[in-house]
Homo-oligomer: A and B are copies of this chain.
């Protein structure tokens, strides 16, 4: 029997944590860090080369902590490996500019996507990989276990018990990876209370949190999922009608995820009008995985919606959500509990349909939101926008996509790309080659940043019609079907009218008239709410839109 390694120490992580905590005790009182001392505290508690998870979520930002970390002395804190789900703040990249951080693993970059590209080009930043959210959380338990986790919540007590409020989002998945592997967890909160009985509820137990600090101002949170109905155009409504008739009704879609956008907002807003006229209430769109979209209020009030589980919160929806506990997941305190990890899981494995939009689609149906000079990342779409091979339960919609009589045939998740054939500014959505391919070449990425792969897409819906890609018997046929709904884009120009006629009669593609959708009916009069004020009225005054959305 071979001998074990001699004299190995098996608690180096724990010993290192204790060493740092002993230094931190000069600044913190118990678990509480004085607000004014956060920069020296972070300089004390971190070490060069640490893997640091920074809670930049889709909405909620641990911005007090990110600003403090960016203010640290690069002579003391440097070469950090940052793990940030959503890179959304200027200081996230200041960390790299100042030499405090060197490597970045992330899932999404909105406003910072141009700067990431530049930094990458200038060699100021090294990208580990760009992930879909849930894949990034998963790696925290395998090869990216963090030394430091920085998160945000509403309130905490002096023992570290954390109340996240409605914006729980990524926090539990991020914290657990450190709390149970001798990492150090620091939570910024808007308010510190004396003990747990002063908290509305506990979202994360105190024994998982090492330090709390009251932030200089409440954490930043962005209303990303609010769409003003005023900006919905007739073309959105036409496409929404096609979605309801040609996809939701046809396949009996009962559980679904809607992405952000005016297209899907239009679907939400015509359920109580157009959907009702088709007698579909109670038959489709019952179970939802999405943030509390204000444009979903009329459908909820009209009795369409059984339940909504959410990735994160939406500013202004707090009182409405709290008053609708039959629909939303809420705690005993009344506030919502969101959970991005579980909602991504639900959006992957438990819903019939994912529908989303994109910036570019190529002739094979691959799509990406990455354009030259912008490394925007993936967010949640790759996870929800693929056919999960591990799924084993059947639903009517899932089974409806089986096209063979093979006894081993499986159903499929519906993955719908809903796009206008041209983007604002006249840029074609359907392109010969996605910018993503060139971006990958330019930046030496091991693979092109494709958001959703063509073989995962089951339907392409444009203002021209629907291509039922899951019926394609070959790549050639898939290409022809895409071309048939791509209007006069470079891809659309390839289409052959005779082929299109045949595919139409074979049911491979459908134009609005094939679905009984009349273009003339696609007017804004179908919208259950035509303005933010209408949404407020539908909500009985419970919805309180952020100031920038108020025009009355």
CA distance A272 to B4 in the complex (A): 9
Min CB distance A442 to B, Å, is 12
Question: Which residue in B9, B289, B389, B448 is a CB contact (below 8 Å) of A389?
Answer: B389
Q: List chain B residues, Cβ under 8 A from A2.
A: 272-273, 276, 298, 302, 528
Given contacts A145-B307, A202-B206, A326-B12, contact A130 B393 (CB under 8 A): yes
Count of identical protomers in the assembly:
2
Q: List chain B residues, Cβ under 8 A from A12.
A: 326
Given contacts A326-B11, A345-B341, contact A390 B394 (CB under 8 A): no
Contact between A309 and B141, CB atoms less than 8 A apart: yes
Chain A, 238-275, CB within 8 A of any chain B CB: 254-255, 272-273
Contact between A301 and B394, CB atoms less than 8 A apart: no
Given contacts A1-B534, A2-B272, A276-B2, contact A138 B346 (CB under 8 A): yes
Q: Does A219 contact B (CB under 8 A)?
A: no
Chain A interface, DSSP helix/strand/loop, else mixed:
loop
Q: List chain B residues, Cβ under 8 A from A14.
A: 325-326
Min CB distance A155 to B, Å, is 13
Residue of B nearest to A143 (CB): B287
Chain A, 455-476, CB within 8 A of any chain B CB: 456
Chain A, 376-428, CB within 8 A of any chain B CB: 378, 382-394, 399, 407-411
Contact between A399 and B446, CB atoms less than 8 A apart: yes
CA distance A182 to B327 in the complex (A): 11
Contact between B8 and A303, CB atoms less than 8 A apart: yes
Q: Which of A118-126, A330-338, A485-493 contacts B (4 or more CB under 8 A)?
A: A330-338
Min CB distance A142 to B, Å, is 4
Residue of A303, A349, A384, A392 most packed against chain B (CB within 10 A): A392
Contact between A135 and B389, CB atoms less than 8 A apart: no
Q: List chain B residues, Cβ under 8 A from A306.
A: 143
Contact between A1 and B325, CB atoms less than 8 A apart: no
CA distance A205 to B204 in the complex (A): 7
Q: List chain B residues, Cβ under 8 A from A326.
A: 9-14
Min CB distance A529 to B, Å, is 7
Contact between B345 and A134, CB atoms less than 8 A apart: yes
Contact between A389 and B388, CB atoms less than 8 A apart: yes
Residue of A272, A323, A350, A386 most packed against chain B (CB within 10 A): A350
CA distance A307 to B410 in the complex (A): 36
Q: Does A324 contact B (CB under 8 A)?
A: yes
Q: Does A514 contact B (CB under 8 A)?
A: no
Residue of B nearest to A256 (CB): B142
Contact between A350 and B143, CB atoms less than 8 A apart: yes
Contact between B390 and A301, CB atoms less than 8 A apart: no
Q: List chain B residues, Cβ under 8 A from A182.
A: 325, 330
Q: Which of A38-46, A172-180, A496-504 contacts B (4 or more CB under 8 A)?
A: A172-180
CA distance A65 to B296 in the complex (A): 40
Q: Does A5 contact B (CB under 8 A)?
A: yes
Contact between B392 and A130, CB atoms less than 8 A apart: yes
CA distance A10 to B306 in the complex (A): 11
Q: Does A137 contact B (CB under 8 A)?
A: yes
Min CB distance A230 to B, Å, is 14
Residue of B nearest to A137 (CB): B345
Q: Does A329 contact B (CB under 8 A)?
A: yes
Q: Does A237 contact B (CB under 8 A)?
A: no
Question: Which residue in B138, B301, B437 is a CB contact (below 8 Å) of A5?
Answer: B301
Contact between B309 and A142, CB atoms less than 8 A apart: yes
Q: Does A447 contact B (CB under 8 A)?
A: yes
Contact between B390 and A10, CB atoms less than 8 A apart: no
23 contacts across the A-B interface (CB closer than 8 A): A2-B272, A2-B276, A10-B327, A11-B326, A14-B326, A131-B392, A131-B393, A132-B391, A138-B350, A141-B345, A180-B329, A181-B307, A181-B330, A182-B330, A202-B205, A204-B205, A382-B390, A386-B389, A389-B389, A389-B456, A394-B446, A408-B450, A410-B447
5 tightest Cβ-Cβ pairs between the two chains A and B: A386-B389, A129-B393, A202-B205, A4-B301, A383-B390
Known: A14-B325, A135-B390, A202-B207. 10 other contacts (CB 8 A): A1-B538, A10-B323, A10-B325, A139-B393, A143-B254, A180-B329, A341-B345, A366-B408, A387-B389, A388-B388
